[in-house]
Structure 1
């Protein structure tokens, strides 16, 4: 006897098209001959027999009747009036047997309140609800699945646990939330799955989980069930200090890394290093070299190596190229235990069109805009997020919090912010649509960014949000309350472009472009800047850093040492892309390792030693970084001497000063005079031309004593040697009596009467 009121529901189940299968499958109360009883229905393709077993007694068994040859079973239990916990005993035609709780006997795993918060765009832990989660629910161990696809006709879970059968595990739509949900008991970690979506158009697609914590190694695209919270962290000291840290007055010299090409294992097929091997090799290297932070090009899962990680399909999954999420946590943990911060490149600007990804997820423009003028980057061939849709902004804000909280990432470098802010970014007339006021600003993106940054700063103090923003948008690093975007810092793309333009010039012509060297200070305090020599500057025939330098081989190395020295002396935090520290000549490629073999040659050894010493000098001297964003922290001594192409300046902290002289010509100045603010003795503490670095050895072995001769608007001046294409750093020796004056008086205890 078939108890389903409408037979078309049976066929919807069989065809995998039912939007609420729990109303058909599972246990239900019915009336049989005027008497209340229960009925159990199950749809298990491939099953020969199914028996309902009372889970409490295990003695009461009720064989089910096959209603449809595709595997639809039903049993009426006339002597039971109320729902009871049960299991299904199944056999197939090969004689295999198994038993399981019925997925269609469970309540929803997502509450109405969760759905409400998500709909409002304020569920900042939504990744704990959507996706796939190993849980114990209503007495059974299994996995809760949930996915947002409001316009889909139906959604089912497919995986290696059900033979990828699209009919086996249909999901239910929870009210008006657009969320489809199903709890499947008995699944385990590392099981593979996707969501089979019958889209609004009727097209059927298999989508990876937008909230998956792990994924198969490309070219495979399935999501993987993973117990994300089981890792035991050992970085409590770091995390406690992070909450109290002031990143603006702390040192930050960042080593930018692409994990897939920093180093490989050539003797094993040129394979990638694992996250664990990175912890063993990369972390000690960074620590020895004196970098304070590692910045990783995106590690979020992505299908195409050539995108460098900037076209993401798995926003919540570290790529399986290098290992598991636990291994990635171990890498970050190791960094923190060694005093190294971790910054992660993050891409909320756009996503690729791969069919298994976010694009046209339920048949409509769900995560993106329907109008291609708003929803597509034509140059990049990608979709643009619809920041005005609350569920989409919730997806991204929760994702930012996820990496900073769940993975203990110390900061996110937000990629391509300019493309988010401007509707006409890289678009011609007719390819973009103006905002409601007729302007080119993406008002929804601006609101999203402000919302995101304000939530991050409130919930995770001490973390950083760093904008890669290439325009003159005002207030990028001002707080949202002050009508800014709320970023912690901003990449100084203007300085990078001006400086590289200048340094590539033959020294004989640099005097005609002197403004490119000094202009950065004209706007230095408009934002909290990071000076960058990034991966983008050493690809696509732009040449490696050493290749940009003019002159013969000696001059190239001298120019490069000078370039790094000037950047470190200039206000702002620092970033250098991997390979630049030992003067790799080849342009960077994601498909091969850095050229570590070059370190067998003396020139490259000396360059690496120079960067190591410069880094440690930077970390040890507070004038480099304590007042990066305070005008008191920098003063030009001479910035207008274009004819000699020499600049000099002072860097200050609260209790110390350093004096920098940078000579951008190959001429040696044996008796160069600069003004100084104080009478006294000035000692050289760093020189890029030292012989141990490959320089010519034009150094100041003796301290310089000031003379009462006005120079550079100061009443006193000193004479020093300035090396060719070199940087000299001086420190004023403070007399012992002056040091004593600065020391606080010792407290003396009063003697008891």
Structure 2
């Protein structure tokens, strides 16, 4: 019998697929029942059993290696040689265990495992290790003993909150400083966190936290799931950063990469016990055809134990407030979504979906909210999978939000292919506001993806070479004037017309120049483009400051009015000929004149009866505008005709300008 599913009420086109949706839902419930007799949180405790731990008398280290014959602990303490007193005992279910007196290991000792398997052997970093470091000379990675006597003291847990509308500041620790080298957790806490707080963002999304051997991968080729990247500092320094963010009322979520893993055998887990399919698929599905990485086998209970424990670990040990899941589309489909255009609903239910991955994602989201009801989960997913951000009970996968990945692509396409004078405001509103009714989305005009080498940031697309010599405030340059104006309009359009949350990559708020390019052979291992030039926005003579001021006041408007919490976005005017768009959201009237050359006087916008106060004006001088609108005026609506109940508010709308008015009901006039 098919249970009634709420997502079908929201989208009747799913009616013909209720059976498949119900089957997927049942599979998740059955798998949970198979894995645990209590709760998922009780099941997801592998990090307390496996890995290196202390009790009152011993060090205890355990690993799961079912294909292994023998296992040794090697390290500085054994001169990196196998010794019988460091040999593991094989115990039940493919597990190996070693107990050592406390004096055997000390803080910061380096170690590895030497594993023998049928026909071979190899040195390996433990799957469950929580600290990995790289030798600066040999570049070889080793696990490191890291067990402080006193647990970290969290001082600001009471400040942790859950925001209905996350305003996310996407950040990368290593490239967050201006120096041409790798930044640290400590530097981020001291130098960048105050900037984020002043900018008004309420959530930080940290990238590249899980250890990864290649810095230039942006953290997406993970080698050690449970180790915070040591290139940025110590575990305590990461915890200090998160605690400091909590002290400011800022949530911290983490990019988590469970969609694939690095192929490296010496650093990663791809051939840990001599078996290539211990954690990954054994057939042609083992290697990701586009990412040069390995694909987890979500059908194995041991893999579910590993990944679900990893979910709980970062919430429990580091007090992260949730996750942004990377590469969800790749997980959902056998072909990773690469050969589908998703033009019909059949493509979500035609048997080409990885049902095990769907089950895993459902369990992961249930675990997150079971462990911390205030935590959030965000899916990076581009196929439009129905129900992705609906609850399990309603027939979805349980994510809180999906990233609106089509919006930045839309802006790029519009800028590249259409002249300003041909921008269709109705189409812009449709593209920004079109979303599944039952889901919440995080909108953004650009993220780190749009700025990677070979691509361009929005500001660079708009200004190009003028970026290098005409960004001083004394310079007169029409290309820069256009770029500055459109940069503000695009970001405010995105915030006001779409989504239930908003995301910005660090530096984009002030129009950070150029692209992101990590050190590599092709650029002679340069850090020039793997940093943030904060001195540009701090220079009062440059126009980067103007863009930053606008972004700060735009975010402050949302924090003050909470207009994107309002689910309904009412387009009250779409004048395609004159390129005027007006949108009502909660008590705010957003009016955009995208016309590149025409300003309009006494332009009537349909409005509720009452008065309107200007609360944000992109044309203000402090935002790099021309001060063409008097911000001190109040605007009163007028009937369209005698005795008419329909009102309009009449405005002066300068070209390439956005004006935001707050509605004040008529009864409050006197």
Aligned twin of 1:494: 406
For 1:611 and 1:462, locate their aligned partners in 2 and report how far apart those are by CA, in whole Å.
27
* Separation in 1, partners of 2:434, 2:165: 23
- Structure 1 window deviating more from structure 2 (614-623 vs 220-229): it is 220-229
- Structure 1 408/122 Cα, relative in aligned 2: closer, same or farther at 3 Å? closer
- Asked whether the equivalents of residues 134 and 188 of structure 1 are also in contact (C-alpha less than 8 Å), the reply is no
Aligned to 1:359: 270
Distance in 2 between residues matched to 1:398 and 1:422, nearest whole Å = 24
- Aligned pair in 2 of structure 1 residues 714, 406: CA closer, same or farther (>3 Å)? farther
Asked whether 1:697 is paired with 2:631, we answer no
Match of 1:236 in 2: 157
1:617 maps to 2:557: yes
C-alpha displacement of 1:471? 0.7
**In structure 2, how many angstroms separate the alpha carbons of the residues matched to 1:570 and 1:608?**
21
Instruction: Render the CA deviation track for 1:568-622: whole Å, top value 9, x for unaligned.
Output: 2124200011121111221123333212332334211111111122222221112
1:568 is matched with 495
8 Å Cα contact 1:677-1:714 kept in structure 2: no
> Which protein is richer in strand relative to its size?
1
Mark the structure with the bigger radius of gyration: 1
Q: Which residue of 1 aligns with 2:299?
A: 388
Write out aligned runs for 1:334-413 (5 A). Answer: 334-356=244-266, 357-364=268-275, 365-372=277-284, 374-413=285-324
Map 1:579-658 → 2, pairs under 5 A = 579-590=507-518, 591=527, 592-599=530-537, 600=539, 601-623=541-563, 625-627=564-566, 630-631=567-568, 634-639=569-574, 641-652=575-586, 657-658=587-588
Match of 1:146 in 2: 62
Inter-partner Cα distance in structure 2 for 1:398 and 1:183: 23
The 2-side partners of 1:254 and 1:424 are apart by 31
Deviations 1:492-522 (A, max 9, x none): 11223223322453212213x8524423323
Distance 2:339 2:412 in 1: 28
Question: Offset at 1:383?
Answer: 0.4
Residue aligning to 2:133:
216
The within-5 A match list for 1:488-567 is 488-504=400-416, 505-511=418-424, 514-532=426-444, 533-549=446-462, 552-567=479-494
Counterpart among 152, 166, 174 of residue 260 in structure 1: 174
Which one has more relative contact order, counting CA pairs under 8 Å at least 6 apart? 2
C-alpha distance in 1 between matches for 2:504 and 2:280: 34
Q: Distance in 2 between matches of 1:166 and 1:146?
A: 17
| Structure-1 residue corresponding to 2:470 | none
Superposition map of 1:66-465 within 5 A: 123-136=43-56, 140=57, 142-168=58-84, 169-175=86-92, 177-185=93-101, 186=103, 187-200=105-118, 202-217=119-134, 219-227=139-147, 230-239=151-160, 242=161, 245=162, 247=163, 250-265=164-179, 270-356=180-266, 357-364=268-275, 365-372=277-284, 374-425=285-336, 439-465=351-377
Q: Is the Cα–Cα contact under 8 Å of residues 682 and 733 in structure 1 kept in the other structure?
A: yes
Q: How far 1:482 moved relative to its partner?
A: 2.0
Paired residues of 1:598 and 1:604 also in contact (CA < 8 A): yes
C-alpha RMSD of matched pairs (Å): 2.5
Aligned to 1:472: 384
Q: 1:517 to 1:622 in 2, by over 3 A?
A: closer
Distance 1:557 1:418 in 2: 34
The CA deviation string for residues 11-39 of structure 1, in whole angstroms up to 9 with x for no partner, is: xxxxxxxxxxxxxxxxxxxxxxxxxxxxx
| Runs ≥4 residues deviating over 4 A | 115-118, 426-429, 735-739
165 and 595 in structure 1: CA distance in 2 versus 1, 3 angstrom threshold: same
* Structure 1 partner of 2:593: 663
Contact 2:426/2:581 (8 A) holds in 1:
no
Please report the TM-score for the alignment, with normalisation by the length of structure 2: 0.83
Unaligned runs of 5+ in 2: 1-34, 341-346, 464-477, 519-526
User: What is the CA-CA distance between 1:549 and the residue it aligns to?
Assistant: 2.2
Measured after TM superposition, the shift of residue 117 of structure 1 is: 9.1
| Closer, same or farther: CA 428–650 of 1 in aligned 2, 3 Å | closer
SS at match of 1:525: coil
Matches of 1:522 and 1:626 in 2, distance apart?
16
1:158 CA drift (Å): 1.0
Q: Give unmatched runs, 5+ long, in structure 1.
A: 1-114, 430-434, 740-753
Counterpart CA distance in 1 for 2:533 and 2:197 is 20
SS in 1 for 2:280: coil
- How much does 1:290 deviate? 1.3
Contact kept? 2:453, 2:517, Cα under 8 Å: no
TM-score by length of 1: 0.74
**Aligned CA distance change for structure 1 residues 706 and 178 (closer, same or farther; 3 Å):** same
How far apart, in 1, do the equivalents of 2:660 and 2:197 lie? 24
Pair 1:707–1:316, CA change in 2 (3 A): same
SS in 2 for 1:481: coil
218-227 or 477-486, which moves further after superposition? 218-227
Answer whether contact 1:710 1:717 (CA < 8 A) is retained. Answer: no
Per-residue deviation, residues 366-423 of structure 1 (Å, max 9, x unmatched): 1100002x22102211000010101111111111111122111112000000000010
SS in 2 for 1:457: helix
By how many angstroms is 1:282 displaced?
A: 1.2
Name the CA distance, whole Å, in 2 between partners of 1:190 and 1:160: 10
Cα distance in 1 for partners of 2:580, 2:517 equals: 35
Contact 2:607 2:649 in 1 (8 A): no
**1:726 alignment partner, one of 640, 651, 657:** 657
Question: SS at 1:133's partner residue?
Answer: strand
Say how many residue pairs are matched. 588
Displacement of 1:651: 0.8
